[in-house]
Amino acid sequence: MSSFLVQIVASNIPNCFGYLSSTQSFPSDASNSFGVFCLTSPTDGKLSVVVQVFGTRPPFAFIHLNAAFMKLHGIQESEQVMLHNVNSVNFCDCIEIMPASLDDWNIIQSTAFVIEEIFLDQIRVVQKGMRFVLNVFDNLSVNFQVISIIPENIGDAPVIVSTTTQVLVVPWEEKKDSKTSQSSSIDFVDSRKFTSNLIDDFVGNFEEKFSRVLPDSLGPKNLNDQFAVPTVIVLDKDPYVKPCVVSLYSPLIDSPCYAIKLAAIKGVNQELDQLQETLERRKGHCWISESVRKMGLKDAMQVKIHPVTKNLINITYLLTEVYDLQEGDQSVLIDSLKNLFATAFIHSPIVMSMNGLYLTIPVKIDGKIRSTQINIQPNFKKISLPYDEKTCFYFWPNGVKMAFEFLSSQTTTQIAENRSSSKIIDENFGSQQHDYVNLAYQEEILTNINEDLIPRFCNQLTDIRILITGSKSSGKTALLFKLAQQFFEHELTIFSTFVNLAEWKGKTDSIEKMLNEKLQILKSRKPSILFIDNLDFLNVHLDDEERKKFVDKIYRKIARTLLSNNDIGVIAFGSGLA
């Protein structure tokens, strides 16, 4: 049934759906979706409205529509219309709707209804420019118009709004002639508007949870390009529609970002589907965007994710760029911001802490163009509301006229020195690839550890303190690498690091320092394992009594350091200890 003629019946139904019937009486069983149809006038063709239609028992002679919806489109009672079946309707990521008049806007402002929460109950198929009505009370409705749809390449085609679609309510604005922006500000041209009501859109219910950072190597390679704003993605059975502002807390950071429950957006794209499969295998992990990693979070670190309340959110219309930028580089920064957020999966304000946000842009240093990381911070001089270290700030380069103030608080030399400071490499040792040959005895050890020891260790039922000895060329080094890889491949992605005691040179106390540096990395990534090779590096036959005392002192320091961290597993290898 591709096209057919029906007669309009005005109804008091509280939605913008159409209901088909064979009589003028409203159907009692019209609960099955019959499809998406375009309503057109059979005579002049001026009418063209897309409606999701419900119906159960054809043939149909009447269609029941909301009376306010009919009035909005100039549809008359008893008028005859043609219904044309729309075969292909795509889903959309985001839509913006605007109240049709100032009166409609005032109704929204004066009621407690959250438009985004009642939207799907009353309309699900829309197209750009479409007008529709939402009922907020029994005798009170608000007229809207669809301003924009993302992806933008959909054009004027009808789309389906689902639970994964971000619905943004744009404040009503009287149409005016466009004017040139003042030279003191930079206009980011976009249909989005930024108001205090937008805060409500990103404050939602989020149950506090602890999670572990998924190793970057296990996440989809191109996912960071879609999440320009700081984002954490978790696996959850209870999805919600919009990204929610949360705070990430660990010993290294306490900073706001966006949280997305992945179950809510399954089927959006290949990278996110791949990530969902990974998180289902790697229990208790979360994915963080590159901008969060730049704050200090690393692979396998434990992090607490907890909600941010509305009173802790402040709006900043100005950003301060803490860097010595030349005049030409300022425009590069502005263009980078625009491009960054024009292609982002989440079309949302930037959320940042008092410490701001780090961006990597090409700038000219010593006459050469280099990719340089710069820090963008809220401009505190322009913020009137009180704030403290717990406050998070909103800034949206797509929405309003923004101004930048460029400060010379750091010189290029200082920044270069800060970045060149030595850092301990904290890559997961088990993620390294190797090509060692498998030996028969290794398989038995690996199987026993995988089936018994690892589950008990992960459930905190046992500590791991293992010494494995073997002669030279026995394959113990290969076993070490394979064990580390096996721990990494476990669903908890057990973090490990490696130290070769044979490389130690220096004073007695320095061996404690070397081990403590490794243990410090492991403390924030539990469950975790320290692999030690050549534990017998000083275990030689000694005739010199003084030399023997020195060696005993070294091993006592090693034992004291390892035993004081009994919640971290230790697997040591050596040729044998006397």
Query: Which pLDDT score, from 0 to 100, does residue 365 have?
Result: 58
Structure tokens at 96: 């913006």
User: Residue 374: pLDDT band by 50, 70, 90 thresholds?
Assistant: low
In this predicted structure, the answer to whether residue 190 has a pLDDT above a threshold of 80 is no
Residue from 10, 52, 56, 53 nearest 30 by CA: 56
- pLDDT band per the 50, 70, 90 thresholds, residue 406: very low
The answer on 511 and 541 residing in a single domain is yes
Same domain, 77 and 94: no
Per-residue pLDDT, 195: 44
- pLDDT at 48 > cutoff 50: yes
What pLDDT does 249 receive? 84
Most confident of 116-130, 237-251, 350-364: 116-130
Does residue 208 sit in the same domain as residue 127? no
Same domain, 304 and 322: no
Say how far apart CA 350 and CA 164 lie, in whole Å. 20
**Residues 450, 554: one domain?**
yes
Over residues 448-467, mean pLDDT: 77
Residue 154 sits in a domain whose CATH number is: 3.10.330.10
The proportion of the chain whose per-residue pLDDT surpasses 90, expressed as a percent, equals: 10
Pick from 74-78, 140-144, 391-395, 513-517: least confident = 391-395
In a domain, 453, yes or no: yes
Measure the CA–CA gap between 227 and 243, rounded to whole angstroms: 12
112 and 53 share one domain: no
Residue 325 lies in a domain: yes
Q: Which of 145-149, 197-201, 321-325, 450-454 has the lowest mean pLDDT?
A: 321-325
The rounded mean pLDDT for the chain is: 74
Strand order from edge to edge, sheet including 401-407 = 186-187, 401-407, 318-322, 368-378, 357-365
Query: Does the pLDDT value for residue 327 go beyond 60?
Result: no
Mean pLDDT of 528-553: 75
209 class by beta-carbon count within 10 Å (0-12 exposed, 13-18 middle, 19+ buried):
middle
Is residue 344 pLDDT above 50, yes or no?
yes
Q: Does any domain span residue 189?
A: no
> Domain count of the chain?
5
Q: Is the pLDDT of residue 394 over 60?
A: yes
As a whole number of angstroms, the distance between CA 120 and CA 124 comes to 6
Is the preceding omega at residue 151 within 30 degrees of 0, hence cis?
Answer: yes
Instruction: Give residue-wise pLDDT tens across range 5-31.
Output: 999 999 988 899 999 998 888 887 766
Predicted confidence at residue 326, as pLDDT, reads 57
- The beta strand positions in 474-524, using DSSP E, are 495-500
- β-partners of residue 249 are 254, 304
Q: Let me know if residue 358 belongs to a domain.
A: yes
In this prediction, residue 144 carries a pLDDT of 93
Q: Which of 308, 326, 358 is the last residue of a domain?
A: 308
> Of 357, 389, 420, at which residue does a domain stop?
420
Query: Could you tell me the CATH number of the domain that includes residue 29?
Result: 2.40.40.20
Predicted confidence band of residue 469 (pLDDT cuts 50, 70, 90): confident
pLDDT of residue 371: 63
Average of pLDDT values for 444-456?
80
480: in domain: yes
Averaged pLDDT for residues 117-130? 88
Co-location of 76 and 97 in the same domain: no
Residue 313: other Cβ atoms inside 10 A: 23
Reply yes or no on whether the pLDDT at 301 is more than 90: no
- The more confidently predicted of residues 467 and 346 is 467
pLDDT for position 6: 93
Q: Are residues 293 and 324 in the same domain?
A: no
Residue 453 shares a structural domain with residue 567? yes
Task: Say what the pLDDT of residue 62 is.
Answer: 93
Q: Examine the pLDDT at 409 and tell me if it is beyond 60.
A: no
Strands of 301-412, DSSP E:
302-307, 313-315, 318-322, 350-352, 357-365, 368-378, 392-395, 401-407
Q: For residue 570, what is the domain's CATH number?
A: 3.40.50.300
Q: Residues of the chain with pLDDT > 70: what percent?
A: 68
Same-domain status, 279 and 335: no
Give the residue numbers spanning the domain of 248. 204-308
Q: Is residue 313 part of a domain?
A: no
User: Which 3 state secondary structure label does DSSP give 397?
Assistant: coil
- Per-residue model confidence (pLDDT) at position 69: 93
Which pLDDT value is given to residue 52?
Answer: 92
When pLDDT is cut at 50, 70 and 90, the band that residue 66 belongs to is very high
Same domain, yes or no, for 468 and 559? yes
The angle subtended at Cα 226 by Cα 220 and Cα 227, nearest 5°, is: 100
Residues 446, 552, single domain; the answer is yes
Which of 308, 337, 356 represents a domain boundary (last residue)? 308
Residue 567 lies in a domain: yes
Question: What's the pLDDT score for residue 63?
Answer: 94
